[in-house]
Chain A
Amino acid sequence: MLSKGLAAALLCMGSAAQALTVFACEPEWAALTRVLLPSAKIHVATHAGQDPHHIEARPSLIAQLRGSELAVCTGASLEAGWLPMLQQRAGRAVPVLEAGDHVSMIDAQPGAIGTPWAGDVHAEGNPHVHADPRNLLDVAKALAEELQRREPAERAAIAQRMAAFEKSWSARIQAWQQQALPLKGKTVAGQHSGFGYLWRWLGMTQSADLEPKPGMAPTPGHLQRLLEGLRAQPPLAVVLSSYQDPRSARWLGQQLNRPVLVLPATVAEDAGEAELARWFEGLITQLLQAK
Chain B
Amino acid sequence: MKHVLTLSALLLACTAHAQTAPTPNTPKREAWQFGAVLDLTHSTRALALGQREQGLQLGHSDLTASGPLGPWLRGHVGAVLATHDGKLEKGFEEVYAETPALPAGLQLRAGRFASQIGQLNQQHPHADDFSERPLLYRAFFGGHWNDDGLRLNLTLPTPIYWMVGAEAFRGRKLVDEMANRERKPGALTLVTKLGGDIGRSHSWQLGLSYLNNRREASVELEDEHHEEHEDHEDHDAHEHDEHAGHSHAALFTGRKTWMVDATWKWAPNGNNREQQLRISFEAARTTGLNRYANAGQRHEANAIAAVWRFNPSWEVGARSDWLRVNQPHGDHFHKGLLREHSLMLAWKPSHMQAVRLQVSRQRDAVEFENPSKRSVFLQYVIAFGAHGAHAF
- A: which residues have CB within 8 A of B? 1-2, 4-5, 8-9, 11-12, 15-16, 47, 49-51, 53-60, 62-63, 66-67, 69, 80-85, 87-93, 95-98, 101-102, 113-116, 119-120, 142, 145-146, 149-150, 213, 215-217, 243-245
**When the two chains form their complex, are residues A120 and B106 in contact, meaning their CB atoms are under 8 A apart?**
no
Contact partner of A57 (CB less than 8 A), chosen from B14, B153, B158, B389, is B389
- Listed from nearest, the 3 A-B pairs whose CB atoms lie closest are A59-B195, A1-B3, A59-B161
Whether B273 sits at the interface, judged by CB under 8 Å, is yes
**When the two chains form their complex, are residues A245 and B153 in contact, meaning their CB atoms are under 8 A apart?**
no
**When the two chains form their complex, are residues A91 and B153 in contact, meaning their CB atoms are under 8 A apart?**
yes
- B: which residues have CB within 8 A of A? 3-4, 6-7, 10-11, 13-14, 17, 21-26, 28, 100-102, 105-107, 153-163, 193-197, 200, 203-205, 265, 269-274, 311-313, 349-353, 382-385, 388-392
**When the two chains form their complex, are residues A66 and B389 in contact, meaning their CB atoms are under 8 A apart?**
no
Contact partner of A47 (CB less than 8 A), chosen from B13, B105, B200, B350, is B200
Residue of B nearest to A215 (CB): B350
CA distance A69 to B23 in the complex (A): 11
Chain B residue numbers with a CB within 8 Å of A96 are 24
Q: A49-B269, A60-B195 are in contact. Are A91 and B106 (CB under 8 A)?
A: yes
Chain B residue numbers with a CB within 8 Å of A58 are 195, 197, 203, 392
Q: A97-B24, A216-B349 are in contact. Are A83 and B389 (CB under 8 A)?
A: yes
Residue of A nearest to B194 (CB): A59
Chain B residue numbers with a CB within 8 Å of A97 are 24-25
Closest CB in chain B relative to A75 CB, distance in Å = 9
Closest CB in chain A relative to B8 CB, distance in Å = 9
Majority secondary structure, B binding face:
mixed
Query: Can you report 19 residue pairs joining A to B where beta carbons are below 8 Å apart?
Result: A8-B10, A11-B14, A58-B195, A59-B197, A59-B392, A60-B161, A66-B155, A66-B156, A87-B100, A88-B100, A89-B163, A90-B155, A93-B100, A115-B384, A116-B352, A150-B21, A150-B22, A213-B350, A243-B273
**When the two chains form their complex, are residues A116 and B382 in contact, meaning their CB atoms are under 8 A apart?**
yes
CA distance A115 to B196 in the complex (A): 34
* Most chain B C-beta atoms within 10 Å of own C-beta, residue among A2, A49, A114, A217: A217
**When the two chains form their complex, are residues B7 and A1 in contact, meaning their CB atoms are under 8 A apart?**
yes
**When the two chains form their complex, are residues B390 and A85 in contact, meaning their CB atoms are under 8 A apart?**
yes
Closest CB in chain B relative to A237 CB, distance in Å = 22
**When the two chains form their complex, are residues B7 and A4 in contact, meaning their CB atoms are under 8 A apart?**
yes
Closest CB in chain A relative to B155 CB, distance in Å = 4
**When the two chains form their complex, are residues A81 and B270 in contact, meaning their CB atoms are under 8 A apart?**
no
Chain B residue numbers with a CB within 8 Å of A59 are 160-161, 193-197, 203-205, 392
Chain A residue numbers with a CB within 8 Å of B155 are 62-63, 66, 89-92
Closest CB in chain B relative to A219 CB, distance in Å = 9
**When the two chains form their complex, are residues B203 and A5 in contact, meaning their CB atoms are under 8 A apart?**
no
Chain A residue numbers with a CB within 8 Å of B269 are 49-50
CA distance A189 to B311 in the complex (A): 22
**When the two chains form their complex, are residues A5 and B7 in contact, meaning their CB atoms are under 8 A apart?**
yes
Q: A5-B3, A49-B271 are in contact. Are A113 and B100 (CB under 8 A)?
A: no
Residue of A nearest to B66 (CB): A84
Closest CB in chain B relative to A264 CB, distance in Å = 13
Residue of B nearest to A55 (CB): B272
CA distance A231 to B154 in the complex (A): 59
CA distance A1 to B6 in the complex (A): 9
**When the two chains form their complex, are residues A85 and B350 in contact, meaning their CB atoms are under 8 A apart?**
no
Contact partner of A12 (CB less than 8 A), chosen from B17, B24, B203, is B17
CA distance A215 to B313 in the complex (A): 11
**When the two chains form their complex, are residues A92 and B105 in contact, meaning their CB atoms are under 8 A apart?**
yes
Chain A residue numbers with a CB within 8 Å of B154 are 91
CA distance A208 to B269 in the complex (A): 28
CA distance A56 to B13 in the complex (A): 36
**When the two chains form their complex, are residues A66 and B25 in contact, meaning their CB atoms are under 8 A apart?**
no
Residue of B nearest to A101 (CB): B26
Contact partner of B157 (CB less than 8 A), chosen from A9, A67, A83, A88, is A67
Closest CB in chain B relative to A159 CB, distance in Å = 16
Closest CB in chain B relative to A62 CB, distance in Å = 5
Q: A53-B273, A57-B391, A115-B384 are in contact. Are A81 and B351 (CB under 8 A)?
A: yes
**When the two chains form their complex, are residues B22 and A63 in contact, meaning their CB atoms are under 8 A apart?**
no
CA distance A273 to B159 in the complex (A): 28
CA distance A4 to B102 in the complex (A): 22
**When the two chains form their complex, are residues A217 and B313 in contact, meaning their CB atoms are under 8 A apart?**
yes
